[in-house]
Homo-oligomer: A and B are copies of this chain.
Amino acid sequence: MLNNPTLTRLRQLALTASLLAASLQIWACGPARVASSPAEGEWNNLSPGICRIESGPDKTPSLLDTAGVIPRMQKLIKLPETSFPVDESEISIRIDGGQTYLRFPLEDEEQLFGLGLNFKHVNQRGRIFRLHMDHYGGRDNGRTHAPVPFVLSSKGYGILIDSPRYITVYAGTGVTRDSNHPAVPRDRNTDRNWTPRPRSDNLEVVIPGEYARVFLFAGTNMMDCVRRYNLFCGGGFIPPKWGLGFWQRTPTLFSEEDVKKEVAEFAERDFPLDVIGLEPGWHSKSYPCTFSWDSGRFPDPAGFIKQMKNQGINLNLWMNPYVSPDSPIYSEILPYSGSHTVWNGLVADYTIPEAAEIFKGHIEKELTGIGISGFKVDETDGFDHWLWPDTAVFPSGTSGEQMRQTYGLRVLRLIDEVYRDAGQRTYGLTRASNAGGVRLPYVLYNDYYSHRDFITALINSGFNGVLWTPEVRSGGSAEDWVRRMQTVCFSPLAMINAWADGTKPWSYPEVYEECQEAAYLRMQLLPYIYSVFADYYFNGTPPFYALNLLEDFYNTTVPTAGKPADTGKSELDSTANPYSERTREEIRDQYMFGPSIMVAPLFAGEEERDVFLPNGDWYDFYTGRHAGRAQTVRVKPGLGRIPVFVRDGAIIPMLKNRLRQTSEWKDVPLEVRVYGKGEGSFLLYDDDGKSYEYQEGEYSSRMLSTKLDNTGNLSGGVEELVSDSTWPYPEITWKYMTGSQAGKE
């Protein structure tokens, strides 16, 4: 938790900054200051609030092109004009000695977000990143599953450095001698205000190679910048409906028969289940993979898949993309492969169309064509000692480094093409993404498994155009198990991954009912969740995001509530803290889920926790009772509930009944919960749940809204905006959760 005086100060300054920003010039894309450069660049206006500069002779491929991004220009050109809150004469691009150096100005209390999927911190100012695709290693240093070179400023702009290189970013650390905003020299001998980090007024970047391609995104606020960034990357996506149900990944070497028993047990124990994920063992060989069925464990894949479909179960297949010598595609793909192998498997160069076609043709024929609903693409992130070194050579001429930054994206793109060609949506898992991955229907995961850090990753995913699942594998205790089960049900992909541990929802029988409750709550929330994803596709709004993206966040003044002030200093210790460095606090354990819901998970070992409530009234999701406004509250909800809060005026459409599978999600009554005392609205969305026809306009939507009458009571109304034949809610009930109306329907 951010402590309060700091928060207040930050908010005040952010306000000042945004007032200042409004008075600056409308974004005019003139020439940037380009020093000692063999090639000069100019800013090009691409659409309102989006601008690009290219500089340097040595065109490296674009990260966005690699991802196959087609910017959603039709949407973008309609957005309002906006001013860019940075003096562009203070931006510099310099090319020197084989490297490209960028510099952007920073104001004193400006905060920076994004810069890859970080797990420890939300505000990245003062940190240094070398963006490098890798398994997250416990430090926010740029090595992560989505080393996205996008940085978002609290001043209301974003910068994308569109390069698949290992980019180094100094996010407000360097102090220059000739600064316009010089830092104050201090004597550590005697001055107690000495700090090891004097004020830095810049964000500096090193791109290896002599080329820069940089995009700037402005907006009316931070969220607006994120939306423009996401839309520019092709927008978000709407998962197939089954993808939002519950997933269970079975242990390695599970056979057809094992899976059938597992599915039956879920039904018997009345636990939601939409997807079974098969882990290593369905391939005839794995690590590297054959991409062909093991005929012993799966004698009749097509029949088995059909049987599962009939029971409402979709199958997802684990794979790593490295081609086993025993794969049927091995010899065909060999000439298109890199110099180095991974676990002795080929690393195919999928920038070559022939290689891409071999892979796509094979999975279409053997897997997707017989009904496999999607994939989990493993091992495209790291570690360095598993994957090819940067010395690797690929037949297309793509370097080892560039291939490393983008291999995950490439593979996802191939699979996406197969499903798109079939007109069928997919939803899957990946361990690697990057800028441009926004439009690809995949959720990131890893082996790191810190519950608390998983929540920070969920928060940061929203700044980076990716999704993240805090998947559940094992539990240190029944308490840990239920707390993890609760958070995963409030994430983009609710899943147990039992590949190594063989866990099941009932692994801790003493908390089974609590787990069941969390899973069914997710199922009931499907209308809300599905609409949240529609907003991701149509408007680029991230489904999961930091509280910092709420407009009211920086305006909130929280009473100090007896907390110690941040003195900016810690105790001197010769070894633990020889620079008496200040420790910073921030909100890294609460996140927004859609427009109205805020989740504040509990972690094993905690019976209660503090929850920060920004400006505006907030209500308890379960009871509708007023929880507070602009304050920190302490909650102690018991094992059965994850703390969830709802904004005033929130309208949360839910399924009235408990459905165990999304296949039952048609012709069902809808219950619309209304929270608080203010008017509100919510765009309820639906479509066929499986095809891409929604992208051609085939969907339905209803505007749910509430109005205050003379007596101060709310009443709900429905307005049909777009309709197709699939609208699943024959009946809508309004349920008022708060105040004198509570309990009334």
**Residues of chain A having any CB pair with chain B under 8 Å:** 58, 96-99, 101, 103, 126-128, 168, 170, 173-178, 183-189, 194, 196-198, 204-206, 208-210, 252-253, 280-281, 283, 285-288, 294, 324-326, 337-346, 384-386, 388-393, 399, 447-449, 473-474, 497, 499-501, 572-575, 578-579
Asked if A98 contacts B575 (CB within 8 A), the reply is no
| Contact residue among B96, B447, B574 (Cβ-Cβ distance under 8 Å from A499) | B574
Asked if A340 contacts B389 (CB within 8 A), the reply is no
- State in angstroms the CA–CA spacing of A253 and B188 once bound together: 10
- State in angstroms the CA–CA spacing of A256 and B499 once bound together: 68
Asked if B197 contacts A578 (CB within 8 A), the reply is no
A34–chain B nearest beta-carbon distance, Å: 15
Cβ-closest chain B residue relative to A287: B188
**Residues of B contacting A287 with CB < 8 Å?**
186-189, 194
Cβ-closest chain B residue relative to A325: B185
**Residues of B contacting A174 with CB < 8 Å?**
340, 388-389, 391-392
**Residues of B contacting A341 with CB < 8 Å?**
175-177, 183, 198
**Residues of B contacting A281 with CB < 8 Å?**
189
- State in angstroms the CA–CA spacing of A101 and B183 once bound together: 41
Q: A189-B252, A208-B98 are in contact. Are A391 and B103 (CB under 8 A)?
A: yes
Closest 4 CB pairs of A and B: A500-B574, A188-B287, A185-B344, A449-B575
Cβ-closest chain B residue relative to A169: B389
- State in angstroms the CA–CA spacing of A345 and B183 once bound together: 11
Query: Is chain A's binding surface mostly helix, strand, loop or mixed?
Result: loop
Asked if A101 contacts B391 (CB within 8 A), the reply is yes
A386–chain B nearest beta-carbon distance, Å: 6
Residue of A287, A342, A391 most packed against chain B (CB within 10 A): A391
- State in angstroms the CA–CA spacing of A604 and B235 once bound together: 58
- State in angstroms the CA–CA spacing of A463 and B374 once bound together: 51
| Contact residue among B97, B101, B389 (Cβ-Cβ distance under 8 Å from A209) | B97
A188–chain B nearest beta-carbon distance, Å: 4
Beyond A174-B392, A177-B341, A185-B324, 5 additional contacts (C-beta under 8 Å) are A170-B391, A183-B344, A185-B325, A196-B343, A473-B575
**Residues of B contacting A449 with CB < 8 Å?**
574-575
**Residues of B contacting A339 with CB < 8 Å?**
176-178
Asked if B206 contacts A208 (CB within 8 A), the reply is no
| Contact residue among B99, B280, B497 (Cβ-Cβ distance under 8 Å from A189) | B280
**Residues of B contacting A196 with CB < 8 Å?**
343, 386
- State in angstroms the CA–CA spacing of A342 and B176 once bound together: 9
Asked if B170 contacts A344 (CB within 8 A), the reply is no
Asked if B500 contacts A286 (CB within 8 A), the reply is no
A384–chain B nearest beta-carbon distance, Å: 5
Asked if A473 contacts B574 (CB within 8 A), the reply is yes
**Residues of B contacting A176 with CB < 8 Å?**
339-341
Asked if B96 contacts A500 (CB within 8 A), the reply is no
**Residues of B contacting A388 with CB < 8 Å?**
174
Asked if A184 contacts B344 (CB within 8 A), the reply is yes
A323–chain B nearest beta-carbon distance, Å: 11
| Contact residue among B170, B188, B447, B572 (Cβ-Cβ distance under 8 Å from A574) | B447
**Residues of B contacting A500 with CB < 8 Å?**
572-574, 578
- State in angstroms the CA–CA spacing of A288 and B189 once bound together: 10
